[in-house]
Amino acid sequence: MNIKNIFKGIALVALSTAVLAGCTKGFENLNKDVFGVSDEQMAQDGLALGGMLQQLERSVIIFRDGTYLDSDYQIMYNLCAETWCGYMAPTLSDGHNAGWDVTDGWHRRMFTVKYEYGMGGYKDFEQAALELGMENELALAKVLKVATMHQVADYYGPIAYSHYGELTNLYDPLDQVYTQFFQELDSAIETLEKVAASGAKLLEDYDLVYNGDATKWVEFANSLRLRLAMRVRFADAELARTEAEKSLASPFGVIESNNDNAVMSGVDHHPIYEINVNFNDADTQVGASLDVYLNGYNDPRKFLYAKPAGDGNLHGVRPAVAPSAWTNYKNTAAKVSAPNASLYKICWLNAAEVAFLRAEGALIGWNMGGSAKDFYEQGIKLSFEEWGAEGANNYLANTTAKPAEFRDNVSRNHTAAPSSVTIAWNESASLETKLEKIGTQKWLALFPNSCEAWAEYRRLHYPVLVAPVTNFSNGIVNTDQGIRRVPYPVSEQTDNAAGYASGVSALGGNDNAGVRLWWDQKPFNN
């Protein structure tokens, strides 16, 4: 099929938008044959690929965008990773996802929506870019594909990646998926570095993140490679170090400033706002784990992340509260803290995360360009700056503050403090204590990026989270370890039986929420 015919609709939308945006100018363009533009013209102004680029960008973290709704975000993130990483607690009247009795109707959406939206969009982009000879733009698309698909792989494990779109979608083992991620990022970064050096822009009129700035895209790609390198360090330390140090050796480096954070523009509100304010008078509230760390540390970001309850304090909700009590935790009770979601952004990756990644690398002797202490403190300062919080230096100097015990402000679901980790860096502390500091502060700085927070919690086992009131998994999920992955959608067992069987085999024979992924190899005895 001719690419020009595929994008007639996009051309028409672009023309209509131009007319609506400026009704008193541009009439000289109305007589042009929109459907008869040459391939060269389409390549020049990005018309062929612009709409596809935005689809790829929106698939990294799906939100209300005209195709999907805030309720899709709720099902994919809020009721899954956002709950399992301790950021939020659902206050719904059905299901026990928060207590690890995972619900197929919820967790499958990451597979059936995000997976297909992201991979399908990339395949379309790839075909068009190859026909038009737009190799630089294709390199950018590869970065976006990895940014999306690593979240899917980190949810489920083995996925159809190299075989996606074939008659039988056989699953690649997760180590092989990650090998492909690194190969694609290496290739894309090599191309994008040349574009950045030339000063050229990439689909500037369509890019919702960096406005076509190739230099910033290289920084993002390097930072993403660093994230994934650290993800696999307990499974393949040599591969991890190689890919991490490669990112720091790039002449364009990684994200170091909040000005370069990967943030989606044009988002009227974060989906958590809609979920809390308009869904059944609060389908989600701040989680107990945020409560104990923010309160225990008297963290200046406390009331930027959460709203005060009726008594002026921060009160979270413990996961898996009995269904009969859920209505008592709604906004109308004024006894718990709602997420301060009007301040939240759709942020894929920020400078604070990169600093903490470098801190961990430096801690174990990798060449990260500085010391673990310096990067740890830099990560905290960057997070405070990002949120407009004051007092970072005093926070960093605090040697005594510890996570608080959890006091349920509605019922009696109290529990002891999950950890005694303090804030100030102590060079004489053990390696594991330093790692807990890094993991805990990184988790706070990632907020509200739940996909990454849940993956890092599973990888590092930090921060230590407040356990659900009840473990509804019937022994499948260890109470002290938490949910480790998401089962494949039940529909895969019939719709793609051979692929499903290959995935379960690569997992070791079991498809449940207690199975550890390939990169999840840090011992639990630390």
State pLDDT tens for residues 152-172: 999 999 999 998 888 778 999
* Predicted local distance difference test score (pLDDT) of residue 324: 65
* Predicted local distance difference test score (pLDDT) of residue 22: 33
How many residues does the structure list for the chain? 526
Q: How far apart are CA 102 and CA 81, in angstroms?
A: 11
* Predicted local distance difference test score (pLDDT) of residue 3: 42
Residue 78 CB partners (closer than 8 Å, separation 6+):
88, 90, 271, 272, 275, 283, 284, 450
* Predicted local distance difference test score (pLDDT) of residue 44: 55
Residue 192's φ and ψ, nearest 5 degrees, are: -65, -30
Q: What is the pLDDT of residues 88-111, one digit of tens each?
A: 998 876 557 888 888 888 888 888
The angle subtended at Cα 324 by Cα 320 and Cα 328, nearest 5°, is: 85
Q: How far apart are CA 97 and CA 414, in angstroms?
A: 20
Q: What is the pLDDT of residues 377-395, one digit of tens each?
A: 999 999 999 999 999 999 9
The residue ranges of the chain whose pLDDT is under 50 are 1-37, 42
Selection from 284, 451, 263, 227 nearest residue 344 by Cα: 263
Q: How far apart are CA 55 and CA 413, in angstroms?
A: 43
Q: 51 near 423, Cβ under 8 Å?
A: no
How does 481-506 read in b/e, with b if 16+ C-beta sit within 10 Å? ebbbbbbbbeebeeebeebbebbbeb
Q: Find where tokens 């609060």 sit.
A: 282
Residue 103's φ and ψ, nearest 5 degrees, are: -105, 120
How does 310-349 read in b/e, with b if 16+ C-beta sit within 10 Å? eeeebbbbbbbbeeeebeebbbebebbbbbbbeebebbbb
